[in-house]
Structure 1
Amino acid sequence: MPLNTLPVLSLADDPAKFAKSIGDSFKTFGFAMVKDHGIDADLIDRAWKLTAEFFALPEMEKLSYHNPAIAGARGYTPFGTEIAKDAKAHDLKEFWHVGRDLPEGSPLADASMPPNVWPARPEGFKDLFEELYRQFDETGATILSRIAVYLGLDEHWFDPAIGDGNSVMRLLHYPPIEGLDGEAIRAGAHGDINLITLLLGAEEAGLELLYKGEEWISASPPPGALVINVGDMLERLTNHVLPSTIHRVRNPDPERARFSRYSMPFFLHLRSDFAIRTLPQCISPENPDRYPEAILADDFLQQRLVEIGLKKKS
């Protein structure tokens, strides 16, 4: 296998073997591809169908589910709203966010974690995406348990850190591109904010990662596999031992420009009140602590939401 090709790993492997494999892939690429992840294939097929049906609704109907006051935390975010940090042009996408439903009276319930918003149509949207969110959440926790072992932590170390965490499932639509001028692309070069991202593969290609900061390489998974990548919170927690790699969704080749692209990332987040503090085993004379001051996960998130255009500076 070429050095710049992502390996495809199996979550059905022996846990210790998988922990080593995904940790090494993260260390090298900031990314991994994972099959046998346990998310129901029929559920995924139905999710793609309902995603396409929702984004085909009239613009005014979709906009009725948009609330700028919550910075895109739930419901609909219109085309051209989000922008990659330091980019000059907004991304060519629209999206819908499903988040965690917190227990009644939870101290974590605020503008960062408001109640979910559900569209009146397509039929079955709420039930399907609540179940898909649950399965993503479960698979993500399993992946993190393997990463914990790789880092020399107890396999359950992340459990309290992500309990009632601010994880978000995003349904993404990149509309067809015709006659485009300028610098705008479907998703500008960026790193993810969260701990790890689990991404269901799109039929249309385009996802690329910046390998070793020098070369754009494809990160499109084989059918049925997930792409999983390190987010900025895990990079900070591990003092860059596990890097959050810059990635993008490039514009399609001319013959595919008239086709929509859909994808479904699950951004696995820490609890809002979790203090991100550098893991001691990730500090050494060769890798001194870059972050001597801890930061709350929600403070980290709010800073980044401003940078990507979903929230106005207060």
Structure 2
Amino acid sequence: MSDIASVSIARPLEEVSAELGRSFEEYGFAVIRDHGIPQELIDRAEELSKQFFALPDDVKRAYKIEGGGGARGYTPFGTEKAKDAKVHDLKEFWHVGRDLPADHPLAEYMAPNVWPSEVDGFRETFEALYAAFEEAGLRVLEAIALHLGLDRHWFAPTVKDGNSVMRLLRYPPLEGKEAEGAIRAAAHGDINTITLLLGAEEAGLELLTADGEWKAVDVPEGALVINIGDMLDRLTNSKLVSTKHRVVNPHGEAAYRARYSMPFFLHFRPDFTIETLPGCIDPDNPDDHPDSISSHEFLLQRLREINLA
């Protein structure tokens, strides 16, 4: 079995699309370097994320939006759980989404952001990081389009003004002997199109291989982990696979300190219809999902399954 791809997307995409596609078909995961997100912006975002999570619990909870499905603002520790999981994940998080003008045709699908007044520069920093994530994601989607034999810009209109969400995550340290090996995020697949993850350098992220074994994802400093979401799996008739993955506590000293990361869940437009690409259907791989579905309805179904709607 070959390994998870690790490629520079500063190279011409025609040179790396086959390797990325191979990794997405085999593992649902790849690592990209030279992604274009400035390190200074990443460092600033990480510092401000830590400042927010260090605020008193009652201050953070004031930014929890009741009935919002966790789409914006703060979600407290012990809320989200993986599909079919018996217990909640060990994490708290903050969501930043797309801001659209009130008269935009998709505005009804996207609530306005909220911003913590207690952290200076929070809004400016995370609006800039959101835009940088989106640009990197579009480049990955270009490579995927090339791999699938589509026009390289095929995905651009499908995600324009999409319901993409950036998550600032904190996994608190655990106490006592239960810390080592505890599950910070139970095994799950992502709902969206692709996920771009910053902050996976610290051990803990694992994916479930086709052979049923857990495989650690090793990430060079400053690189992004990319994984396929359920929407793209469905669109490609599982040619590109949405792989179950989890975050476990590392062993030793790292088990007793907080872990921070920032995933960007890149989504199709809410009005995009997910129907299997003809090029991903053949006699050996008949269409698994002959009925089409809008990305918005797909999202709602899955949010209900993970206790966020």
SS in 2 for 1:68: coil
Instruction: After TM superposition, give the deviation of residue 224 of structure 1 in Å.
Output: 1.0
Out of 175, 179, 203, the position equivalent to 1:178 is: 175
Instruction: After TM superposition, give the deviation of residue 203 of structure 1 in Å.
Output: 4.9
The answer on 1:136 being equivalent to 2:149 is no
Determine if contact 1:202/1:261 at 8 Å carries over to the other structure: no
Aligned residue identity for 1:41: Q
Alignment partner, residue 201 of structure 1: 199
Determine if contact 2:201/2:220 at 8 Å carries over to the other structure: no
Instruction: After TM superposition, give the deviation of residue 255 of structure 1 in Å.
Output: 2.4
Aligned residue identity for 1:199: L
Residue-by-residue CA offset, 1:58-104 (whole Å, 9 max, x unaligned): 00000000012110000100001000001111000000000011133
Instruction: After TM superposition, give the deviation of residue 107 of structure 1 in Å.
Output: 2.2
Out of 16, 19, 28, the position equivalent to 1:18 is: 16
Aligned residue identity for 2:167: R
Alignment partner, residue 145 of structure 1: 142
Give the number of equivalent residue pairs: 308
Instruction: After TM superposition, give the deviation of residue 184 of structure 1 in Å.
Output: 6.4
The answer on 1:86 being equivalent to 2:119 is no
SS in 2 for 1:187: strand
Aligned residue identity for 1:261: R
d(CA) in 2 for partners of 1:304 and 1:290?
A: 18
Residue-by-residue CA offset, 1:6-63 (whole Å, 9 max, x unaligned): 2311101221111111111101110000000000110001111111110000000000
Out of 240, 255, 258, the position equivalent to 1:257 is: 255
d(CA) in 1 for partners of 2:246 and 2:8?
A: 25
d(CA) in 1 for partners of 2:219 and 2:196?
A: 11
Alignment partner, residue 270 of structure 2: 272
The answer on 1:219 being equivalent to 2:217 is yes
Q: Closer, same or farther in 2 for the Cα pair 1:5/1:21, shift >3 Å?
A: closer
d(CA) in 2 for partners of 1:213 and 1:52?
A: 37
Instruction: After TM superposition, give the deviation of residue 146 of structure 1 in Å.
Output: 1.2
Determine if contact 2:168/2:263 at 8 Å carries over to the other structure: yes
Moved more, 255-264 or 273-282: 255-264
Instruction: After TM superposition, give the deviation of residue 296 of structure 1 in Å.
Output: 0.4
Determine if contact 1:203/1:261 at 8 Å carries over to the other structure: no
d(CA) in 1 for partners of 2:246 and 2:287?
A: 29
CA root-mean-square deviation? 1.5
d(CA) in 2 for partners of 1:62 and 1:258?
A: 23
Alignment partner, residue 230 of structure 2: 232
Aligned residue identity for 2:138: A
SS in 2 for 1:229: strand
d(CA) in 1 for partners of 2:211 and 2:242?
A: 11
d(CA) in 2 for partners of 1:254 and 1:63?
A: 31
Q: Which runs of 4+ in 1 moved over 6 A?
A: none
Determine if contact 1:274/1:297 at 8 Å carries over to the other structure: yes
SS in 2 for 1:49: helix
Out of 129, 132, 152, the position equivalent to 1:155 is: 152
SS in 2 for 1:273: coil
Instruction: After TM superposition, give the deviation of residue 121 of structure 1 in Å.
Output: 2.0
Alignment of 1:45-56 (within 5 A): 45-56=43-54
* Sequence identity percentage: 59
Q: Which runs of 5+ in 2 are unaligned?
A: none
d(CA) in 2 for partners of 1:73 and 1:180?
A: 34
TM-score normalised by structure 2 residue count: 0.96
Instruction: After TM superposition, give the deviation of residue 251 of structure 1 in Å.
Output: 2.2
d(CA) in 1 for partners of 2:114 and 2:266?
A: 19
Aligned residue identity for 2:49: T
d(CA) in 1 for partners of 2:124 and 2:101?
A: 18
The answer on 1:285 being equivalent to 2:283 is yes
Determine if contact 1:4/1:217 at 8 Å carries over to the other structure: no
d(CA) in 1 for partners of 2:74 and 2:211?
A: 33
Instruction: After TM superposition, give the deviation of residue 128 of structure 1 in Å.
Output: 0.3
The answer on 1:32 being equivalent to 2:51 is no
Q: Closer, same or farther in 2 for the Cα pair 1:181/1:255, shift >3 Å?
A: closer
d(CA) in 1 for partners of 2:177 and 2:61?
A: 24
